[in-house]
Structure 1
Amino acid sequence: MANITNIGSASAFCCSILSLLLPDKITFPGNETYAASLTSYYSAQENSVSPACIASPQSAEDVSKIVHTLTTAVNTNASNSCPFAIRSGGHTSYAGSANVQDGVTIDMRGVDGVQLNSDKSVVSVGAGASWGSVYEYLDPYNLSVAGARDSTVGVGGLITGGGISYFGPRYGWACDKVLNYVVVLANGSIVNANKYENPGLLWALRGGSNNFGIVVRVDLQTFAQGEIWGGVVFYDFSTMDEQIEAIAAFSRNDTYDEFSSLVPSFGYFNGSSFIVNSLEYTKPVVNPPAFQKLMSIPSLGNTMRLTNISNLVGEAESLQMNGLRSASAAVTIDSSVEALRATVGAWNASVSSVKDITGIVWALAMDPLPPAMYSQHAATNALGLTSREGKSLIIVNLRVTWINADDDARVDGEMKQLIATMEREVGYIGSLDPFVYLNYAAPWQKPISSYGQTSMQRLTRIRQEYDPRRVFTNIVSGGFKIWN
């Protein structure tokens, strides 16, 4: 992450200029709008960060003015620069991910328009919109897009980190369905990035995070979508072995049903371990064959029903609690029974080390990653998922919430230890993949480096072309950076 120091006077100066240029869109500590912005972050760590001011643009032109001011008011190559952060949905957990202490936070949530084109083949979405609002707009048209599975996740953050959707096996990563990005560069200019204009920038923004500019709009390809059969199923932890067998069978490449989506979760809370599976079938088919092995495991209850995507992502949000201390980390494994046993076994063994932490939820969620999802657009995104020889993979996400700040260091240490244990044990059987999914990564992980040398070299060249002063590397708080 960027190391930003000596920022007080420069930020005060930048905030003063911005308040003259955009008087109704700059707020300071003590203002109700400022306070509401801070309390709306997903994690307590981000809630506790206090910027010198918050800029709330409502258009690409507003963002352009803000960026131009921040990059020209002071010397961005010097220690007296104006550090700034870019906030879309505010779902990333770690402090400084989309907020900056004593700097300028650009709250993009006012840039939230959603508009279909005339033939309804493309929807233009402001980067500050939530995915829930996008689905609510499209549902009446029986259309959808590849986007987040939680209603409050922001468009801009998910789409520049890859993006996993219910539709991945059919359409790839969410970023693969972006036809055009509208981007504000470090000099304040507004450009399009598509296959005709700035095609290198288009490629880089598909997974390259915030290293190149501020995305203010994405134009997404739509597709026909009616009702979905989906929900969550709750299980006793004693079914763990059956779950592992069923997850491995579900994930097999030769039998993978491209209309199915599964996120199994193994969790611990308040003295008990549990299993919760999120199942979605993107056709109106009740209990399809793809899920029969999972659904045959005795359960404690479920919410499975035919519904629309807006309802499903709203349910996902309702199962979470905002405002807690939160953290995430990721590894990628093969989808074999052996790799799953090693991973879940390491997590289960780690519970005894954390169960005395007040209010802790210690959970492991899994996203099957079949070749149909990661390989069909591998040449047109920056994620580097080539040369996998048709293997089905699984992204493993360690998700943790807790209550007390005094436990932060301990939780971080336990997370590092568990990730290292999983990497060692899965690596020992030859089932560890180097890919680290950016949207799940911990700040001490290096997801962009995990894309591989070829992708890194191209990203570095594109950054030099569009941000030669490295404003978005050195001055912007948050995001994962391209380090030489």
Structure 2
Amino acid sequence: MKLLVWAGLLVYFCIQSSATAVSQSPTDVVCIAIAHAISSASEVFYPGDPLYNKGIYHVAISSTQHSKCVVEAGTPADVGKILVILGRTRTPFAVKGGGHITNIGFSSTLGVHISLYRFSEVKYNPVSQTVNVGSGLIWDDVYAALEPLGVNVVGARATGIGVAGFTLGGGYSYKTNQYGLAVDNVLAFQLVKPNGQVVQVSQASDPELFFGLKGGQNNFGVVTEFTLKTFPQTQVWGGVIEYPGTAVDAITAATVAFQNNVTDPKATIITAYTYIPTLETDLKLIIGLAIFYDAPVPPAGLFDAFLAVPATLKDVSTRNYLSLVQAAPTNFTQPTRVAYNLLPNLSFTSGVGALVLNETLAVGQLLTNKTLAVLSYAFEIFLPNIYSHNSYKTAFPPERAVPFQPFNILMEWTSSEFDTDYHETAVATQARLIKGQIALGQTGVANVPYYPNYAIAGTPLEKIYGANLPALMALKKRVDPSNVMGLAGGWKF
């Protein structure tokens, strides 16, 4: 043990003295070097320690990897020391906030795992009407801290979602109709650059880097804090409703009418077709609805078409914002394997509804014998002007003139034997639905950017970042010339 400690110290001192002194190093020795470099505000954990397990935990077991060690960094300066050591030893690593990404290796690693858990402060400034939010928090924590103050932010719509990945990928919210995406409401980032330097990035300090961080994920360093706009928050109305599969025509028609006729920015819905093979019905189908109005009571008649349909479950009421968010859980039952993908979509029509319904039933039947637990296709209905709430250019979305909708495809199964099958099916179902939408006349879906927080691993970067990609690649070379962040997973420029 003493020999390992001295070896770690030797690696550390060599790193400190020369950028080229260590080109390759066993990862366990790098963990020791990190442990000796960081302050008492941070800590390193190893397999067998419960805090190691907490560090590598992801909501989907298929996204979890067993790293050599977990580093819970407690200060931006310590994050800087860690990045310098990892960069100079060329050690693979991961950075994890909430752990909701479903692509393996995006926030997990076999190398060194950096947990942002200790960046957990919520600091409200009533004068500027802003809040500083630590990148290790989940949105539930933020909502709970802000509720007594009567303010809120543009954050996630479901429980357990991490602040960091959600925001750095774009971030659609129940408040997006009114205020845009999460990235549209970030005023500054506290960033630890790959060279270890800690900086505040804003439009005034570095407009190019500010642009890149707004949707560019972890390409430019590690964000430890976000400065966000806040908005007044009353109680809200809404929740979740589940309908039997036989109600699909009625809910599809209500969803089409809602999209075509409702212009109130305080109102939004998500309609999901969900196939569950264990259901004791012929269709094996339920229709899920998340319903939201940003006031204690919605205008009369606004949601009547949905409320009139007999439901099997209804949890809709006037409540605080956190209660509404926690009505829609996304922490899957372990051990569960999960894949996300997306469908580029311009609008929800009856034809698109029929197309997706047929796909839901066909794919559900195809996967039933491959340990399928849940298959879901979810339409997220927003107003067409949601991309107008920003005066600055952002990495994502690269296109703000096209009023596209986010659309999530979710597959949940239990056996690792079928991981490849589910990945291939997620890609294939997306391709079929794109082709089907084009056949229905939505030719513009070919130009819709892919939401990075839903896109499946292997998606071409051009599909996500479009015409922004050359600028983002150039920015990456400026900020990270040694490609330290390339040692971590994710969408890499």
Compute the TM-score of the two structures, normalised by the length of structure 2.
Answer: 0.88
- Give the secondary structure class of the aligned counterpart of 2:323: helix
Contact 2:275 2:364 in 1 (8 A): yes
Equivalent in the alignment of 2:69: 53
Deviation at 1:229, TM superposition (A): 0.2
- Per-residue Cα deviation, 1:322-380 (whole angstroms, up to 9, x for no partner): 54111100012121332333233322332221122325211111212422212332752
Number of residue pairs matched by the alignment: 459
Deviation at 1:145, TM superposition (A): 0.2
Which protein is bigger by CA-based radius of gyration? 2
Give, in whole Å, the separation in 2 of the partners of 1:299 and 1:189: 55
Give, in whole Å, the separation in 2 of the partners of 1:448 and 1:135: 34
Equivalent in the alignment of 2:230: 222
Deviation at 1:286, TM superposition (A): 4.3
Contact 1:436 1:446 in 2 (8 A): no
Equivalent in the alignment of 1:64: 80
Give, in whole Å, the separation in 2 of the partners of 1:275 and 1:63: 45
Equivalent in the alignment of 2:424: 413
- Per-residue Cα deviation, 1:260-304 (whole angstroms, up to 9, x for no partner): 121111111114210110001011114654322222333223110
Alignment pair present for 1:337 and 2:350: yes
Equivalent in the alignment of 1:449: 463
Give, in whole Å, the separation in 2 of the partners of 1:379 and 1:402: 41
Deviation at 1:241, TM superposition (A): 2.0
Which of 158, 171, 182 is equivalent to 1:150? 158
Equivalent in the alignment of 1:385: 399
- Give the secondary structure class of the aligned counterpart of 2:117: helix
Equivalent in the alignment of 2:108: 99
Give, in whole Å, the separation in 1 of the partners of 2:377 and 2:364: 11
Alignment pair present for 1:17 and 2:33: yes
Alignment pair present for 1:436 and 2:483: no
Deviation at 1:120, TM superposition (A): 6.1
Alignment of 1:263-302 (within 5 A): 263-269=270-276, 270-271=278-279, 272-286=284-298, 288-302=300-314
Give, in whole Å, the separation in 1 of the partners of 2:249 and 2:153: 35
Change (3 A) 1:132 1:288: farther
- Give the secondary structure class of the aligned counterpart of 2:371: coil
Which of 339, 348, 357 is equivalent to 2:361? 348
Aligned AA (1:186) = P
Change (3 A) 1:206 1:133: same
Change (3 A) 1:410 1:288: farther
Give, in whole Å, the separation in 1 of the partners of 2:292 and 2:209: 33
Give, in whole Å, the separation in 1 of the partners of 2:455 and 2:148: 35
- Give the secondary structure class of the aligned counterpart of 1:303: strand
Change (3 A) 1:414 1:313: same
- Give the secondary structure class of the aligned counterpart of 2:303: helix
Contact 2:171 2:182 in 1 (8 A): yes
Which of 172, 176, 180 is equivalent to 2:184? 176
Give, in whole Å, the separation in 1 of the partners of 2:329 and 2:262: 31
Equivalent in the alignment of 2:13: none
Give, in whole Å, the separation in 1 of the partners of 2:484 and 2:337: 30
Change (3 A) 1:91 1:14: same
Contact 1:51 1:104 in 2 (8 A): yes
In structure 1, the gaps of 5 or more residues are 1-6, 75-80
- Per-residue Cα deviation, 1:407-463 (whole angstroms, up to 9, x for no partner): 21222222222111111111223322532111111112235533322x112212221
Give, in whole Å, the separation in 2 of the partners of 1:430 and 1:71: 49
Which of 359, 367, 374 is equivalent to 2:387? 374
Give, in whole Å, the separation in 2 of the partners of 1:287 and 1:109: 41
Give, in whole Å, the separation in 1 of the partners of 2:73 and 2:181: 28
Deviation at 1:8, TM superposition (A): 8.6
Equivalent in the alignment of 1:3: none
Aligned AA (1:82) = T
Contact 1:89 1:128 in 2 (8 A): yes
Deviation at 1:28, TM superposition (A): 1.6
Contact 1:333 1:395 in 2 (8 A): yes
Deviation at 1:144, TM superposition (A): 0.3
Give, in whole Å, the separation in 1 of the partners of 2:302 and 2:196: 49
Alignment pair present for 1:314 and 2:332: no
Equivalent in the alignment of 1:362: 375
Give, in whole Å, the separation in 2 of the partners of 1:404 and 1:94: 16
- Give the secondary structure class of the aligned counterpart of 1:350: helix
RMSD over equivalenced CA pairs, Å? 2.0
Give, in whole Å, the separation in 1 of the partners of 2:222 and 2:302: 40
Deviates more, 1:155-164 or 1:311-320: 311-320
Change (3 A) 1:28 1:294: same
Contact 1:43 1:94 in 2 (8 A): no
Give, in whole Å, the separation in 1 of the partners of 2:461 and 2:129: 33
Alignment pair present for 1:34 and 2:48: no
Which of 219, 222, 237 is equivalent to 1:211? 219
Change (3 A) 1:224 1:112: same
Contact 1:181 1:217 in 2 (8 A): yes
Aligned AA (1:25) = E
Contact 1:41 1:323 in 2 (8 A): no
Aligned AA (1:209) = Q
Equivalent in the alignment of 2:20: none
Change (3 A) 1:344 1:375: farther
